[in-house]
A = this chain, B = another copy of it.
Amino acid sequence: MPRWEPGSTERMQRAALELFAEQGFEKTTVNEIAARAGVTRRTFFRHFSDKREVLFSASVTDFPETALVEGIARADGSLMPLQMIMSASAAYDWDTLGPRDLHRQRHAVIAANPELMERQLIKYEASRVAFAEALLRRGFDADAANLAADVGGALVRSAYERWLDAGDDTTMAQIIEDIVATLRTALAADVGGRFLVF
């Protein structure tokens, strides 16, 4: 499970994110990151295989795929598959991922760089597949599991991006509740009947 490690890991991540924001990801070197964090190159490479890993290694990852998959495995058996994903996401304590401002900066760096964004998309896709597999293990059929994983994955991604921008006192559970209320209205039968007439 991704866990936030304070101390030198955080110092290096903060230094890297500052430099990426100031001068771009491409132009930033490991030497510069180590210097700003006050560590040696050797220390840097004990934690990260390269500067990309400052953004993507398990210790700083943004997306708690393993925890959510475990949440699906433990979810109340009376829930529908999408409910299992949302229940797991709302029950997870997202603040254990570390300071929200770091995740916000990390997200901005990734969004500004197509190559990093590709890697992030691959991570989201891996989570989607992991959710679908977890739901199949709960006995749902492939259509139900895939639909829930597609929509649930998107929903959690959307919630996560709102959580990044929200104040530190806004919890993921509150955000998911808001999103569910919005989608419930959009999918309600009385409007559904109307928008499916062309």
Interfacial residues, chain A to chain B (CB-CB below 8 A): 76, 79-83, 86-87, 90-91, 117-118, 121-122, 125, 143-144, 146-148, 150-151, 153-155, 157-158, 161-162, 173, 176-177, 179-180, 182-189, 191-192, 195-196, 198
**A179: chain B residues within 8 A (beta carbon):** 147
Residue of A76, A161, A195, A196 ringed by the most chain B CB atoms within 10 A: A195
State the number of copies, please: 2
Chain B residues, Cβ within 8 Å of A90: 196, 198
Chain B residues contacting A82 (CB-CB under 8 Å) are 183, 186-187
Q: Report how far A177 CA is from B188 CA in the complex, Å.
A: 12
- Cross-chain contact B182 with A183 (CB below 8 angstroms): no
**Which of B122, B150, B161, B196 lies in contact with A177, CB distance below 8 A?**
B196
Contact across chains for B155 and A151 when beta carbons are under 8 A apart? yes
Docked-complex contact A87 and B192, CB < 8 angstroms: no
Residue contact B83 to A195, C-beta cutoff 8 Å: yes
Contact B150 A87 (CB under 8 A): no
Chain B min CB distance to A179 (Å): 6
- Distance from A150 Cβ to chain B, minimum over Cβ atoms (Å): 4
A58 to B87, CA, bound (A): 40
Q: In the assembled complex, which residues on chain B have CB atoms less than 8 Å from the CB atom of A153? A: 154
Which of B86, B117, B125 meets A195, CB within 8 Å? B86
Of the residues B117, B122, B182, contact of A144 by C-beta under 8 Å: B182
Pairwise interchain contact B150-A80, C-beta atoms closer than 8 A:
no
Contact of A125 among B117, B161, B177, B183 (CB under 8 A): B117
